[in-house]
Structure 1
Amino acid sequence: MCQRSQHGSAGTGYSCQDGPVRLLRTLSGLTVIAVCLAGCGGNSGVGSASATPQFVEPAATSAAAAPEPSSVAPSLPAATSPSASASATPSATPSASAASALTATKKVKYVFPVKASNVDWHTTHSKYKATDIFADCGESVVATTSGVVLEVSLKDVYVKGSPDGPNNGGLSVSLLGDDGVRFYGSHLSKVQPGIKKGVRVKAGQLLGKVGHTGNANNVCHLHYGISPPCAKVGDWKVRRGVVWPYSYLASWRKGGSKSPVAEVAAWKRSHNCKA
């Protein structure tokens, strides 16, 4: 039986003198301890794994397992958003400069300028760098490569013994190739109808016939010169030839495609178009 008791200045309290009451209190305390040990899975091994999660802080688990929203958001839209795809589209289309570069590196077709089975040509030439291609009069003279006609001479006004000048070539055709090089052929007996300044031709197209007009010493041949198109027209000293054509002709005769572009460009840089 519990009764209220007085403990001096310490205040009042309850004092339980009854034995059964004490026993009940003791049993209650033991029950609480047992429940705690079973739930906490202590060192004694009591408890199961399924009970463990109820003692783990849920907030701490979420923070540790889930990525920060700010670290994920920037990467996903960049990879999946329509604007990112749209911005990538132009790069797949070649730019104008890229297209120009592709055109510049495209292989150029070259053709031997005299279409005949029996031809010969010299490795050198008198006074300046050119070549005389010997063939029968009347053999076909064709365009070395595709390009545009720059100059055409349709009359032979050369006077024997006169100083060197633009009339030396007699009938002639000058062509600016698509590779930027000028190709010149003279002493023709005939210029093909329709071949005139500004006309576009393709590689192998008929330009005229082999002859001996101008200062040809009455020998059938094609005077052949390679040069940069400095003044394009009128600059006969450059037009008649500034680099040796022999090795290029040898390549083209065998169906090769050796290009004079680099050598012609080098001459232009070093001579400033002064022959």
Structure 2
Amino acid sequence: MNIKEAYDDYIMQLKVIENKFLNTIESYQRNLNVYLKYLKDHGITDMEQIHVQIVENFLMMYMDTHSAASGNQMLSCIKGFHAYTVLNHPTIKDPAVSIRGFQQSKHLPVYCTKQDLETLFASFDQSDKGIYEKTILEVLYGCGLRVSELCTLTTNQIHYDQKILRIHGKGDKERIVPMADVCINQMKLYQDLVRRQWLTNRTALFFINAKGKACSRQYVHTLIKRKVRECGLDPRISAHSLRHSFATHLLEGESDLRIVQELLGHSDIQTTQIYTHIQNQRLTKAYDTYFNGVSKTKEDN
């Protein structure tokens, strides 16, 4: 079977049958195009020509310039591509089925302290742009959203009376995220004073720019880099750092890891377990507080 035909069939599967998000499909396409170019450069044009050593050689080359996380994303795309092809063409062997993922470090991603966030939120003025941009960051942090979820947030997903957002995350899975009063107040301020005057068409998108167009992911990333630089904060802080900050502060406030998993929309608890060291620190502190108190009582007696 021709590789290009197999690729086209798989992308159609993702779009039509599995109904993947556009961002997910684009990510698969980017990764698979790199893989397919490698195959083409090595004179491989048919699926039957691909064997395990070829896939492993490609991954070794790819890992020279990419992290373990990127390598695992690439491998996931390759596995999905081959598994789908084999499912529909049983005579073709799956060259990726036995390949294992790459070991990732368990370090906690960069996150903001509460003081960092106070500095960040206090840096906005009361102009239309200031209110708009502050609301973006308040929702990103206060609700632990992914940037893609923020940019596609619609007005009918927002329930002020119930203080919740209904978020459609990865795999089109819905989750309920609570909103704090400070976040609600900021959203209403933006909606009443800014969005109302920027609304030039009947879009349901909550975040729109001054031209009435959708807020882009690139705008959000650029905004955060600019504000972090202006406030003199850690330059490594990114949009995803706000999501990590949300999870970290919840755990520091004694939330359960399973609750954080639900609020972040992680399908696998292992993804959330990068934060377990926070729980361990809390348990150690509780242990020391209790048993040191017991020892002190015994000494007093």
TM-score (norm 1): 0.23
TM-score (norm 2): 0.21
Which structure's residues are more often strand, by fraction? 1
Which structure's residues are more often helix, by fraction? 2
